[in-house]
Amino acid sequence: MFIEPGKHEIADCALRTAHGRFFRNARRAFTLLEISLAVAILGLMSLAIYRFVQSNLIALRVSSVASAADARYGGLREILAAQWQGLTVGTGALAGQPLKLNDRSRDEITWVCSAGPGLLTRYAPGDFVVTMALKPPDKSSKRLDLGFLRRPKEDPSITNARESWVPLIENVESLQIRYFDARLNTWVDRWTDVVVLPELVKVVIGRGDSAAPWEVNIALRRHPF
């Protein structure tokens, strides 16, 4: 015998069905706390990735700047070796003297050369006297740049009107030059001999971009090994 359910029973059944669906949906949904934790974790991950990428970019930039500076010093070594190993003995082609200003070594070395790397040009008539020295970019600057001072060897003028300056490396702290005299078997701080050239020339440059100075020994005679 079928008994038709009453209105109250139908309503109660519908209410229980709705509650069941609500609790099932609540179990499947995320709570506000879970969403907040997820957002915080994503934020921390993004920050970590950003800092990682930023530190790598800074390291690459610093490495690139250091590599460019090292390349300039390497180029200077090649120029000096090419010039000094081609000097003619017995003509007074090389001379050097120690200088100091405000407790900073500012030694100078002078040699004679024709057109080529020493003059940083392919075309130059006659011989030139080239001096490697430190010089401020202007009178008011305390910064020192390393460069070549060039003037014609047979220039009779005393005004240095034909003298030119070629800057090579900026922001140099000091320049120290020593000469190895094989006859004395020791290093000397000046060279004035017009007959004999030193066996070695040591160049020590105090770098403005590094705590360690740049140092190189250049042999004035080419060795077969």
pLDDT score of 224: 44
The confidence score (pLDDT) of residue 62 equals 61
What does the DSSP 8-state code read for residue 215? E
pLDDT in tens, 140-197: 888 999 999 998 888 766 666 778 899 999 999 999 999 999 999 999 999 999 888 9
The tokens for 37 are 């934790």
Q: Please enumerate in sequence order all residues whose Cβ is within 8 A of that of 132, keeping only pairs 6 or more positions apart, or say none.
A: 80, 108, 109, 110, 146, 147, 148, 149, 175
Q: Which of 158, 160, 150, 159 lies closest to 128 in space, CA to CA?
A: 150
Q: What is the pTM of this model?
A: 0.68
Tens of pLDDT along 103-130? 889 999 999 888 777 677 777 778 888 9
- Of 197, 126, 128, the closest CA to residue 164 belongs to 128
Calculate what percentage of the chain has a pLDDT beyond 70: 75
Give the span between the Cα atoms of 127 and 117, in whole angstroms.
Answer: 13
Amino acid at 225: F
Rounded Cα distance, 175 and 78, in Å:
17
